[in-house]
Chains A and B, each alone.
Chain A
Amino acid sequence: DTEVTQTPKHLVMGMTNKKSLKCEQHMGHRAMYWYKQKAKKPPELMFVYSYEKLSINESVPSRFSPECPNSSLLNLHLHALQPEDSALYLCASSQEGVAGDEQYFGPGTRLTVT
């Protein structure tokens, strides 16, 4: 199984809502990533978890809160988002979380903040 799954595929939320994005992989990978992609721009890294510990936070606002309950699961908790946070959120995983590791991506969650 070389698949990274993400749920939901689409999410519409108001600025006062709390929601969560979920990501799962069963490849035994020890690193998991959240990327954000705005229209017509390349994906940008938000967070990296390596061996279930947060290893990189790219100065992401606190209204985005990542969580890694175990090495197969990665969540992104959303609270008090702004319309400019509307984007495609991609999850990825890799074997060890080191430079040169091939990253396997999910199909993304399309988030719209109203």
Chain B
Amino acid sequence: ILNVEQSPQSLHVQEGDSTNFTCSFPSSNFYALHWYRWETAKSPEALFVMTLNGDEKKKGRISATLNTKEGYSYLYIKGSQPEDSATYLCAFNFGNEKLTFGTGTRLTIIP
């Protein structure tokens, strides 16, 4: 069983500040890495899918990078807004369609 760690577990950020958090994995033997945003009482929302070492993806103020050689992915949020408050999950495909989720980072933006 692959151990997918996310850090920090929770994070409080002042509105307007930028922030980032990490998804760590011990092996590059996977097909794709996904990032999801999950707001309370809503559906998990797909942000990015990345497959290649060095991949960088961007959607508005949110971006992500993937480093398979060193075993991590970063998610960056620039100029945090209250609507960014959510739990951010990374997840992996290991050769098939099953997603194995990380432990999540709970982000709270302080107005």
Interface positions of A (Cβ within 8 A of B): 4, 31, 33, 42-45, 48, 50, 55-56, 58, 90, 94, 97-108
Interface positions of B (Cβ within 8 A of A): 31-32, 34, 36, 41-46, 49, 51, 89, 91, 93-104
Does the CB pair B97–A98 fall under 8 Å?
Answer: yes
> Which of B32, B44, B51 is within 8 Å of A105, CB to CB?
B44
Does the CB pair B101–A56 fall under 8 Å?
Answer: no
Does the CB pair A99–B31 fall under 8 Å?
Answer: yes
> Which of B42, B93, B102, B104 is within 8 Å of A99, CB to CB?
B93
> Which of B36, B41, B42, B99 is within 8 Å of A45, CB to CB?
B99
Q: 5 tightest CB-CB pairs across the interface, nearest first?
A: A42-B101, A99-B93, A99-B31, A100-B32, A105-B44
